[in-house]
Structure 1
Amino acid sequence: MSNYLYEVQQCLDGIPLKKWVAVLLLFCLLAFFAGLDGRDIEGADEPRIASIAREIVISRNWTVPSLNGTDFLETPPLFYWCTALSIKLFGPSNFSAKFTAACCGTLGVFAIFMLMIVMRFSYFFAFVSALALGSSIQYWGNSRKCMTDIMLAAFIALAMTAFYAVVTSPRLKYRIRWFMLFVIALSAAVMSKALIGLAIPCSALFCWLMIDNVFFQKRINWPAWGALFGGAFLALFPLAIWLISVYHDAGYEAVYTIVWTNNIGRFTGSHAEHMEPFYYYLKYLPLQLQPWTILLVGGLIMHLCNAWKRGPECSRSLFMLCWLLVPLMMLFVASGKRNVYLLPLYGAEAIIAGSFVAAVLGNDKVKVLLSGIIFKKISEVLGWVIVSVAPVFMVITILIGYSRMELSSYLIWAPLIAITSVVLWYCKNNLARRCSIILALAAFLVSIDTYMKPLDNSEESFENIFMAVKGYQSAGTAGNFYLYRPSERVSGAAVFYLGRLVPVLKTPADLVALEKYNNKVLVAAPSRQPGLVPLGKVHKRVGLFRLEHKNNINPTGIQI
């Protein structure tokens, strides 16, 4: 082994656990939290979820989630509760709306780091798996969105980690502690997304125990089976308590909607949304865990061979495969399909990719290949390329979209991280250079969400529309404000940005009934209606209008 490779190995082996944790935490803080307020909440889900959380703060009703005064019972309220606490702590903003998701993304990364250590991998390969998860585009992107799916993914990863430790821990007191964590994580997964939070991990664990006990171990591990069924039973208690509270406040129909319509009905297709053919996920599978997909493919092949040949650590390989493939088969069968539903499987993909890296770097032929001076030169050049990606990306983005870019404090994060990365790489110290690569990766990710995506704020965000309403009302040039036939996203954005419930007009007759008032009535509508005069504030899904008094030929008041 050359001096260079030996020095690298000695450097990695000598790093204590607390330093790996510190570096991983630094990456998560930068990649998930830095510039979190740069991109406005957008799309169908974010305004709706942020609105529900803000309405909890406004109404102080923590039992039944509601969207602009209408009960919203698609999912249990854990994510709404956490986001509501964030809004109370930081105030209503894009940052506070996405803070819970960023925390959940960090939790999921550390769950995978912990799982790899429990599986007896070195700290380095545990770090590689956690970093692969945190830097994969889909997982990272959803960790910076106000959506419930990242919370589900994080708690499923934590539940899988805890259960694997329950089965493999040698001492009873450790198994009890891990079992308690398993129950807590599984309960949180259920309270994040209802029964799917129980179905995904428990189906994978059931198949793992069944195949491992029957075909590999040739014996039944009764304590493990007791932990699985006992944990699943206990995990339903928080959901049951919440359903009882909903029944007390909203009645039987609300409970029926939660349990049947939004869980069983969506799976079977009787009440499904986002219905797609069974092969829908096939076109997304090659994109999983980008940019680390090649590692995932290699890991899948390796673990399939290991399980088939009943090689060493076949139980560990089987655990990874069951976590990925069993829930995937369930998602294929389910009627409702979205790409984001694959998010709970990213943890399995990360440990498969990380274990493949461990196997490759542990191969003697690979060690010989990496021992040459050529590898050192290639590493030097590749390192400079990596630390240069973020600055080049930011420059290109500024040149292309400078006319749509707004100066704001969040723009400083990516350049600051990138500069630090370049300085550390220039130090030519092994440890400093490894930190430099991690910072360069974080700088690139942050630059995407603070330089590129905010360019679409003017087109995707509803903030300008409803901030204009606030401005008109504060200036006294507008009175009451109404929503005309709003979609859920428009209704949610109105509540989130205005901080109050907004009355809804459902028919043209409702508009006509308002004509008796003066010209200070404002209406947000998907398109221009008779009697509405546009005010110039237009979103692709909604426009802002003034209701024109039918007897006022030369109206005054709001200037168009």
Structure 2
Amino acid sequence: MHQRRTGLVLLLFCAALFLIALGNHQLQGSTEPRVAGIAMEMQLDHDWVTPRVNGQPFLEKPPLSLWLDVTAMHLFGPTELAVRLASALAGLGCVMVFYGMLRYLGRSTALALLAALMLATMASFWGNVRQVGEDALLCLGVSLALLSFLRAHLDQRDDSSAWPLFSLGIAIASLSKGLLGLALPGVVIFVYLFIESVQQGRIQPRDWLRPLSWTFLGMLPLLFWLGALYRQQGLAGLHEILWANSVGRFNGSFVDAGHFEPWYYYLGKLPEAFLPWNLLTYLGLWHFRRRVRGDRQLLFFYVWLVAQFLLLTLASSKRMVYLMSLSPAAAVIAAEYGSLWLARWRERRYLRAAQVGVFALALLVYLGVAVKVQPREDREEGFVPLVTQIQQREAQGQSVVLYQPSERLAGAAVFYTRSRLPALDDPSALLSFLRQSPTHVAVMESLSPPAPPLKILDKQVVGKRAYYILGAQAAEALQAASGHS
């Protein structure tokens, strides 16, 4: 009964942390408008195979998060809340799976609860599960796969109930992020089994073959989707998703991918990686360095943290959000080390109250950010004013096109207008379009004001980017001036 009550309290805590005020602000940043727009296009096209941005295939990653976003929009309407819901529920599921698996692995209720609360209140984890995107789903899939593997491996039974959960985790991770969803759990399992083989002085083939066979089973949903994609896009589509956006991002050969950073990028980000529990994580890594040799579970979480960090460091494309899948391992080590300090607390009667106070304060701080701060950021980060102006011009009978739209502009436009706006890529095509009629208008993103013969009708700034509304009057005026001279 005590364990059920503890699990219920954790569930309610995380539900409040991840779901309250989830839809009270506009799509912000670069990822949210893009992903929400792709989901809206998938809903408009009724095409669940090929994701698209402004009508063009977008094959950076598989579409699991998009499928869930479209489903949520069908159920709750095309709102910001709907497209953020999949990430929030994935984060909630990740914390609850994490807590349940730690309990099954023999960790005490107190330790499992502390680790789960630390995971839920990591700033980067909290921020990512409240955004549109696939990273929370990736973290859920990787965590489910690795924790299930550890449980099954320690059980040493071929019929362990954890193996189907392992395959489910692989399916979620690979359908969320493609080959990266296989590499993140795969590198941990490989290094862990290698270390065990060295310690034991022999290789157990069964220990290697079981996760390999269950991995193949977990890959079946991804393979089915790749088959459907091949029917629509041919070998070019498969090359885009499997090579350019997977291998190419890793070795740097896909130059258009962006996010290229030096090898030491993540080292510089360590001070903020697992806030506010990062210091406990790093001190714990040092403190348990000797104990880890005889503790198979602790060794696993060490490998989880270090192996994934090294893999991501080797990759050419780097972003802070990629470290999210390391968060559960960091939370375990932080909780283990924190428990040592809590055990030394002399005034134990105040211990529970202090813990409750710390996490209650964390909840209030995060909800304060969600309720007060994020809506204020709409004034600088929101696309609604720009899209509203586009809609107003269309209502007045003007024809609006996007000129060389970025993914965030195209995504925000299709999400908020519920329609796909025409796009032009060639300067001569833009001038030709503007000269056709005084009612023709273009939206252009530019670092500097467009020069004549284009005329700026209005300007909107979203974040640090300027978007110019261009009208057809500029071309007509230029022609009239030339004829008069």
TM-score (norm 2): 0.91
Shift of 1:533: 3.7
* SS class of match (2:290): helix
Between the aligned partners of 1:109 and 1:354, the Cα distance in structure 2 is 14
- Which residue of 171, 178, 198 corresponds with 1:194? 178
Shift of 1:545: 3.6
Contact 2:431/2:475, CA 8 A, preserved across alignment? no
Q: Note the alpha carbon deviations across 1:383-425, whole angstroms, 9 max, x for none.
A: xxxxxxxxxxxxxxxxxxxxxxxxxxxxxxxxxxxxxxxxxxx
Contact 1:533/1:548, CA 8 A, preserved across alignment? no
Tell me which residue corresponds to 2:240: 257
- Which residue of 392, 417, 432 corresponds with 1:498? 417
Shift of 1:60: 0.4
Contact 1:101/1:151, CA 8 A, preserved across alignment? yes
* SS class of match (1:522): strand
Contact 2:434/2:471, CA 8 A, preserved across alignment? no
Between the aligned partners of 1:541 and 1:37, the Cα distance in structure 2 is 25
Contact 2:459/2:466, CA 8 A, preserved across alignment? no
Identity of aligned residues (%): 30
Look up the equivalent residue of 2:457 and give its one-letter code: P
Look up the equivalent residue of 1:513 and give its one-letter code: S
Shift of 1:277: 1.3
Between the aligned partners of 2:223 and 2:466, the Cα distance in structure 1 is 38
Shift of 1:324: 0.6
Between the aligned partners of 2:202 and 2:456, the Cα distance in structure 1 is 76
Indicate whether 1:76 and 2:62 are aligned: yes
Between the aligned partners of 1:551 and 1:301, the Cα distance in structure 2 is 71
Tell me which residue corresponds to 1:521: 440
Contact 2:17/2:366, CA 8 A, preserved across alignment? yes
* SS class of match (1:541): strand
Contact 1:27/1:438, CA 8 A, preserved across alignment? no
Tell me which residue corresponds to 1:37: 23
- Which residue of 329, 334, 342 corresponds with 2:323? 342
Q: 1:361 to 1:438 in 2, by over 3 A?
A: closer
Between the aligned partners of 2:55 and 2:165, the Cα distance in structure 1 is 36
Between the aligned partners of 2:166 and 2:79, the Cα distance in structure 1 is 33
- Which residue of 283, 297, 300 corresponds with 1:316? 297
Q: Note the alpha carbon deviations across 1:156-178, whole angstroms, 9 max, x for none.
A: 011111111111237665x1x21
Contact 1:478/1:521, CA 8 A, preserved across alignment? no
Between the aligned partners of 1:548 and 1:492, the Cα distance in structure 2 is 28
Task: Map 1:374-523; keep pairs closer than 5 Å.
Answer: 376=350, 438-474=359-395, 477-523=396-442
TM-score (norm 1): 0.79
Look up the equivalent residue of 2:404 and give its one-letter code: R
Shift of 1:61: 0.4
Indicate whether 1:353 and 2:296 are aligned: no
Look up the equivalent residue of 1:370 and give its one-letter code: E
- Which residue of 187, 190, 214 corresponds with 1:231? 214
Shift of 1:512: 2.3
Contact 2:435/2:472, CA 8 A, preserved across alignment? no
- Which residue of 147, 156, 159 corresponds with 2:145? 159
CA-based RMSD = 2.2
- Which residue of 229, 232, 255 corresponds with 1:246? 229
Contact 1:125/1:357, CA 8 A, preserved across alignment? no
Between the aligned partners of 1:549 and 1:297, the Cα distance in structure 2 is 61
* SS class of match (1:542): strand
Contact 1:27/1:439, CA 8 A, preserved across alignment? no
Tell me which residue corresponds to 2:40: 54
Tell me which residue corresponds to 1:399: none
Q: 1:278 to 1:434 in 2, by over 3 A?
A: closer
Between the aligned partners of 2:331 and 2:71, the Cα distance in structure 1 is 31
Between the aligned partners of 1:547 and 1:104, the Cα distance in structure 2 is 47
Tell me which residue corresponds to 1:408: none
- Which residue of 189, 196, 217 corresponds with 1:205? 189
Q: 1:343 to 1:329 in 2, by over 3 A?
A: same
- Which residue of 14, 25, 34 corresponds with 2:11? 25
Shift of 1:516: 4.7
Which stretches of structure 1, 4 residues or longer, exceed 6 Å deviation after superposition? Answer: none
Shift of 1:436: 6.2
Between the aligned partners of 2:140 and 2:387, the Cα distance in structure 1 is 33
Indicate whether 1:111 and 2:88 are aligned: no
Contact 1:465/1:543, CA 8 A, preserved across alignment? no
Shift of 1:552: 7.4
Between the aligned partners of 1:90 and 1:271, the Cα distance in structure 2 is 38
Look up the equivalent residue of 1:502 and give its one-letter code: L
Look up the equivalent residue of 1:160 and give its one-letter code: L
Contact 1:465/1:544, CA 8 A, preserved across alignment? no
Between the aligned partners of 2:309 and 2:153, the Cα distance in structure 1 is 23
Report how many aligned residue pairs link the two structures: 470
Contact 1:202/1:232, CA 8 A, preserved across alignment? no
Shift of 1:249: 0.6
Q: Note the alpha carbon deviations across 1:304-341, whole angstroms, 9 max, x for none.
A: 1212xx44xx2112101110111111112111111111
Shift of 1:222: 4.4
Q: 1:497 to 1:219 in 2, by over 3 A?
A: same
Between the aligned partners of 2:116 and 2:216, the Cα distance in structure 1 is 30
Shift of 1:105: 1.0
Look up the equivalent residue of 2:209 and give its one-letter code: G
Look up the equivalent residue of 2:365 and give its one-letter code: F
* SS class of match (1:61): coil
Between the aligned partners of 2:157 and 2:357, the Cα distance in structure 1 is 40
Between the aligned partners of 1:544 and 1:478, the Cα distance in structure 2 is 15
Between the aligned partners of 2:60 and 2:434, the Cα distance in structure 1 is 37
Contact 2:454/2:470, CA 8 A, preserved across alignment? no
Shift of 1:438: 3.8
Task: Map 1:363-378; keep pairs closer than 5 Å.
Answer: 366-367=344-345, 369-371=346-348, 376=350
Contact 2:434/2:441, CA 8 A, preserved across alignment? no
Contact 1:136/1:292, CA 8 A, preserved across alignment? yes
Between the aligned partners of 2:245 and 2:438, the Cα distance in structure 1 is 43
Gaps (5+ residues) in structure 2? 479-485
Q: 1:544 to 1:27 in 2, by over 3 A?
A: farther
Task: Map 1:91-130; keep pairs closer than 5 Å.
Answer: 91-130=77-116
Indicate whether 1:169 and 2:146 are aligned: no
* SS class of match (2:24): coil
Between the aligned partners of 1:289 and 1:501, the Cα distance in structure 2 is 39
Between the aligned partners of 2:279 and 2:327, the Cα distance in structure 1 is 14
* SS class of match (1:251): helix
* SS class of match (2:98): helix
- Which residue of 64, 67, 76 corresponds with 2:53? 67
Contact 1:535/1:545, CA 8 A, preserved across alignment? yes
